[in-house]
Structure 1
Amino acid sequence: METGDSGLARAAAGGDREAFAALLARHYDGLFRVCFRLTGRQDHAEDLTQDICLALPAKLNGFRGEAKFSTWLYRVAVNAAHDARRRAATRAKAADGWGDWEIGRRAAQADTAEGLDWLHRAMARLPAELRDTAALTMGEEMTHAEAAEVLGVSEGTVSWRLSEIRKRLKALRDEELSA
């Protein structure tokens, strides 16, 4: 087996596991140092180094021997670090967007809950026959005819009650807003 880096790289590119192991043994520490300098954190450098080592068998076919193997390997590391930073920035941007969406969702949820609380309080102030009509037509989504049958009143009475409910709820809201 050739012992120079170029020969080992050609052999490893051809599938020689021993040549690949020899290349890693020679260059792993230097690769890790470069990754550490590129990332500034040991845990990120360890991950990046491992990612490069996993991708290296496929990348070895791109080594032409025009530069020293270590120079080529460090270029691979720099490119991998750039890719990792781009992925991290994309994830951060997506997380920010998700965070904005979540903040908006929670605000809408709070507005809805506040509106429902107000509606429950306002409905409690209405007479029982109006609450019953609202519960059947709005809550249970019954037609006027169905609600009239359940309540034992005419459809016209159900329609009048719904109109009265809207009028009274609007008056309650206006009263609260002006207070």
Structure 2
Amino acid sequence: MEASDERLAMAAAAGDDAAFAALLARHYDRVFRLAFRLTGRAAEAEDLTQDVALALPAKLRGFRGDARFTTWLYRVVVNAASDRRRRSASRSRAALGWGEVERARRSEATEAAAAQTWLEDAMSTLPEALRDTVALVLDDLTHREAAEVLGVSEGTVSWRISEAKKHLKALKEAEA
């Protein structure tokens, strides 16, 4: 006489590997068919069936025998499919969010590159003394340090920076 599903489930829940193997062999195709109907794709149904098979030993501990084993097993498969869809939707939303972040990052990088190109072009229009002074200050030298490098007074460096700003501002306004 063949053991009932419920008896095999109880034995498997108690740690009987042979009972678990028999139960899985008996219902694997049934789980796959349901998984296929729930997902509509063979590859996803195979993955879902494997997920259920891997989770089944732990889930069997919760099987009380109140319902037929097949009814309980169907519920496990339906829940697993729902969980899989939720995870997939969450990943899709997360990927979409990262896509927006990446688009924003690229947009900022493009704007920064355009600003850098504009500044380089605008700097080439400055008189040499102003261009050298601005280059030093943009390279994080203080006005005092730039004055030492150029051999001029700190006040001259400040005046040159002021003149360069006026020149660059006029160029920007002329473009607008």
Structure 2: distance between partners of 1:169 and 1:65: 82
Q: In the alignment, does 2:72 pair up with 1:65?
A: no
Aligned-partner residue type, residue 42 of structure 1: A
List structure 1 runs of 4+ shifted beyond 4 angstroms: none
Alignment-derived partner of residue 54 in structure 2? 54
Partner Cα distance (2:77, 2:34) in 1: 7
Q: Which residue of 2 aligns with 1:151?
A: 150
TM-score, normalised via structure 1 length: 0.96
Q: Give per-residue Cα distances to partners, 1:14-63, cap 9 Å, x unaligned.
A: 11111000001000000001011111111111111101110100000111
The letter for the 2-side match of 1:106 is R
1:137 matched to 2:137:
yes
Tell me whether 1:99 sits opposite 2:108 in the alignment: no
SS of 1:62's equivalent? Answer: coil
Distance 1:168 1:2 in 2: 95
1:118-159 Cα deviation digits (max 9, x unpaired): 111101111111111111111x20111000000000000000
1:2 Cα shift? 6.7
Distance 1:160 1:131 in 2: 13
Using the alignment, how far apart are the partners of 1:92 and 1:133 within structure 2? 51
For 1:127, the aligned partner's letter is: P
**TM-score (norm. length: structure 2):** 0.97
User: In the alignment, is residue 15 of structure 1 matched against residue 6 of structure 2?
Assistant: no
SS across alignment from 1:56:
helix
Question: Deviation at 1:68?
Answer: 1.3
Identity score, percent: 64
Given that 1:130 and 1:162 are in contact with CA atoms closer than 8 Å, whether structure 2 keeps it comes out as yes
Determine the C-alpha separation between the residues in 1 that align with 2:72 and 2:12: 15
Deviation at 1:10, TM superposition (A): 0.6
Q: Which residue of 2 aligns with 1:78?
A: 78
Q: How many residues align?
A: 176
CA contact (8 A) 1:2 1:8 kept: no
Q: CA RMSD in A?
A: 1.1
